[in-house]
Amino acid sequence: MTRTPLRPLARILRARAEGENPDAIEAENRARRHAAMADKQRQRAEGRLLVLGLAFFCAFGLIGMRMGALASSVPEEPRASVAGNPIIGQRSDIVDRNGRILATNLATHSLYAHPRDMIDPAAAAKGLVEIFPELNEAELLEDFTGDRRFLWIRRQISPEQMQAVHDIGSPGLLFGPREMRLYPNGPIAAHILGGASYGREGVASAEVIGVAGVERQFDAYLRDPANEGAPLQLSLDLTVQAAAEQVLAGGMSIMNAKGASSVLMDIHTGEVISMVSLPDFDPNNRPAVLTTGDQSDSPLFNRAVQGVYELGSVFKIFTTAQAMELGLINPNTMIDTQGPLTWGRFRIRDFKDYGPELSTTDVIVESSNIGTARIAMQIGAERQREFLDSLGFLAPTPLEMVEAPTGRPLLPPNWSEISTMTISYGHGLSSSPVHLAAGYASLLNGGTRVEPTLLRRETVEPGPRIVSEAVSARSREMLRQVVVRGTASFGEVPGYSVGGKTGTADKPRTAGGGYYDDKVISTFASVFPTDDPQYVLIVTLDEPSENSGEEPRRTAGWTAVPVAAEMIRRVAPLLGLRPQVDTSQPVGVTLTAN
């Protein structure tokens, strides 16, 4: 760039010659130079502004376009994420303690219709009725030709039915995927599992929700995708449950009972190994809830959990155990059993007269109401109430089922002395078989509290102590004597030392006012083996009557005990309990006289 001088010599000389001020030339040139410089700088600034503006425009344009794209596009799952397993979105399975499936899912299809898309509605309706005979052709045709745009036809269809519907060839008949809850074992453990049905339904999917039992209790857990399909493991044993149901169903029909229930519980952990309530139902096809009449007549009613009954003499062992714990008696203390025992207008009688006195063991063995009531009078109402509370008889069981809180024990409104006396032999306080199982387990496992549970537990910390080890062992020995020489003599199972207590309680009239003469609840509460307690089994029959003799026999010794014995014979080997065989003499050695 050539620099223009501020004072060009030629112009200066000419100006001087003409007498002008040469400084004016310099000033003019300086002004011109400044103007040129300002021009240049403005241009550069404009250029920079343009570039900056362009950059901002691009940046904002990019953001705007991205926002527009995000807002207008269909949402999609992140495909490149590493965390989590996006595949398993199904409801979790329910399995038994050995991992065998109790409830699982099956992919099926639902069938719906878009009547507007149909070409030949009459043929479609006719074809559908041929596949699903329960549909009504006239109604279908009316729906297809009316102004409805959408119509559910079936919630679940099998692959064969789907193919048949496909073969109708109507473009208005459409299928949607549908997950179905399947209980492969049918009615086995039906009351515990409960059942499932559909919640919110769409064409593409439907919610499966639990309606009863553990399905409802653990609904949130089973639906939680964070579990990644990890199954819910129950404490039940499928094989044992099936065997128990079979034996109990047989016993119920032989003993002409109207209902039956059994609870088999691990004595140390409180795990329910099997819990049966008959009559039962198929959870795949859950019957409707009764709208009239007594809910306890419905097969949906879980007698083991919801049914609260006065269970009778099975409570006597609690009375004697508490008295022994308090040091009031020992197994050989003689108890006055002279009858009848009169208290106010009440009279307490025994099944038959047992003479003036019996030892404590014999009070249990012979099941003397009078003897037990006399022991209870020594204990007193307050201490009895506290003891039964510590065994869990005053509150609903903590079993993990939605039905559990409905099994609330019925207590006397006023725990008077007569209540104490009747409760000592199991009248005046109603509780469920699960309560009884937990109570027996707590008393007989060495004396620590056991909470019943339906979930698999590896180890359980021993609960608070209820009675001493010695009292627990003595109680077991008393129960063993009941089987050896008492009311439960049918309960002897070769190879297993069974101990238990029978209970026969008259049923209270539903209309109120006393008890039925010919309707009883017979119960056998047992523990086996008594020398190393492992399991507690409660068998309850509702209105049994054993008719092989001259007159019907209803006592538990004739009804519940044989059923329980058969159940122990079937179930104990399945639980891995080895029979203890008396080795009388070494084989091949003969005793000879010398």
| C-alpha distance from residue 344 to each of 204, 222, 347, 417, 418 (Å) | 71, 56, 8, 11, 9
By rule CB under 8 A, what string of x and - marks binding of each residue 93-132 to another protein?
x------xx--xxxx-------------------------
- Told to judge if 419 belongs to the known catalytic residues of this protein, a careful annotator would answer no
Quote the CA–CA distance of 492 and 562 in Å, as a whole number.
9
- Least separation in angstroms between CB 93 and another protein: 8
Task: With residue 199 as reference, give the H or E element that holds it.
Answer: strand 195-201
Contacts 24+ apart (CB under 8 A), 122-126: 123/168, 123/170, 124/168, 124/170, 124/172, 124/173
Stretch near another protein under the rule CB under 8 A, chosen from 127-135, 211-219, 382-390, 491-499: 491-499
Q: Report d(CA 339, CA 352) in Å as an integer.
A: 10
The count of residues interacting with another protein (CB under 8 A) is 35
With CB under 8 A as the contact rule, which of the stretches 1-9, 241-249, 285-293, 402-410 interacts with another protein?
A: 241-249
Intra-chain end-to-end CA distance of the chain, in Å: 147
Tell me which residue of 105, 280, 307 sits closest to 189, measured CA to CA. 280
Contact assessment for residue 428 and residue 414, using Cβ atoms and an 8 Å cutoff: no
Judged by CB, which is closer to another protein: 182, or 334? 182
By CB under 8 A, is residue 29 in contact with another protein? no
Among 206, 388, 493, 537, interactor with another protein by CB under 8 A: 493
Could you tell me which of 264, 239, 266, 262 has the C-alpha nearest to residue 534?
A: 266
Nearest distance, CB of residue 494 and another protein, angstroms: 7
- Residues 382 and 414: their CA atoms lie apart, in Å, by 11
* Distance between CA atoms of residues 402 and 399, nearest Å: 9
Q: Does 243 bind another protein (CB under 8 A)?
A: yes
**59 or 106: whose CB is closer to another protein?**
106
304-363 residues near another protein, rule: CB under 8 A = none
Task: Say whether the peptide bond before residue 409 is cis (omega within 30 degrees of 0).
Answer: no
184 vs 340 by CB, closer to another protein: 184
Tell whether residue 88 is a contact of another protein (CB under 8 A). yes
Task: Pick from 495, 506, 507, 552 the residue near another protein by CB under 8 A.
Answer: 495
Q: How far is the CB of 223 from another protein (least distance, A)?
A: 16
Select from 440, 496, 524, 558 the one that contacts another protein (CB under 8 A): 496
CB of 387 or CB of 496, closer to another protein: 496
Within 512-558, residue ranges assigned H as helices are none
- Is residue 230 a contact residue for another protein (CB under 8 A)? no
For another protein, the closer CB: 144 or 528: 528
In the stretch 550-579, what mask flags binding to another protein with x, by CB under 8 A? -------------------xx-xxx---xx
Nearer CB in complex with another protein: 168/242: 242
Among residues 12, 22, 90, 326, which is the contact residue for another protein, using CB under 8 A?
Answer: 90
Interaction between residue 87 and another protein (CB under 8 A):
yes
Cβ-Cβ contacts under 8 Å for 116 (sequence gap 6 or more): 149, 172
**Coil, helix or strand for 277?**
strand
Kindly give the pairing relationship between strand 499-508 and strand 515-528. antiparallel
Category of 256 on φ-ψ map: left (φ > 0), alpha (ψ -120 to 50) or beta: left
**Omega within 30 of 0 (cis) for the link into 412:** no
Closest distance between another protein and the C-beta of residue 244, in Å? 11
Q: Which stretch binds another protein (CB under 8 A): 58-66, 122-130, 134-142, 493-501?
A: 493-501
Exposure of 399 by Cβ count < 10 A (0-12 exposed, 13-18 middle, 19+ buried)?
buried
589 is an interface residue for another protein by CB under 8 A: no
Of the pair 241, 445, the CB lying nearest another protein is at 241
Least gap, CB of 479 to another protein (angstroms): 20
What is the token pair recorded at 181?
């809850």
C-beta of 29 vs 156, nearer to another protein = 156
Kindly identify the residues of this chain, within the stretch 421-440, that bind another protein according to CB under 8 A.
Answer: none
Determine, following the binding rule CB under 8 A, whether residue 86 of this chain makes contact with another protein: yes
CB 537 within 8 A of CB 262: yes
264 belongs to the binding site for another protein (CB under 8 A): no
- C-alpha distance from residue 354 to each of 338, 467, 509 (Å): 8, 29, 29
Per CB under 8 A, which region of 81-89, 253-261, 359-367, 497-505 contacts another protein? 81-89
Give least dist CB 179 to another protein, A.
Answer: 10
- Cα angle value 180/183/189 (rounded, 5°): 145
| 226 contributes a contact to another protein by CB under 8 A | no
Restricted to residues 171-190, the positions that interact with another protein (CB under 8 A) are 182, 184-186, 188
Token code pair at residue 40 = 């240049």
Cβ–Cβ contacts within 10 Å for residue 249, how many?
Answer: 16
Stretch of 240-248, 299-307, 423-431, 475-483 contacting another protein, by CB under 8 A? 240-248
Residue 242 touches another protein, criterion: CB under 8 A: yes
Looking at the Cβ atoms of 141 and 276, the one nearer to another protein is 276
Which residue among the candidates 92, 274, 313, 522 is catalytic per the annotation?
313
d(CA 298, CA 295) in angstroms, rounded, equals 5
Alpha-carbon distance values, 97 to 210, 221, 273, 455, 572 (Å): 21, 18, 9, 8, 16
Binding mask 135-154 for another protein (x = CB under 8 A): --------------------
Closest CB to another protein among residues 241, 545: 241
| Local structure of 132: helix, strand or coil | coil
Would you name the residues annotated as active-site residues?
Answer: 313
Binding site for another protein (CB under 8 A): 79-80, 86-88, 90, 93, 100-101, 104-107, 182, 184-186, 188, 229, 238-239, 242-243, 246, 493-496, 569-570, 572-574, 578-579
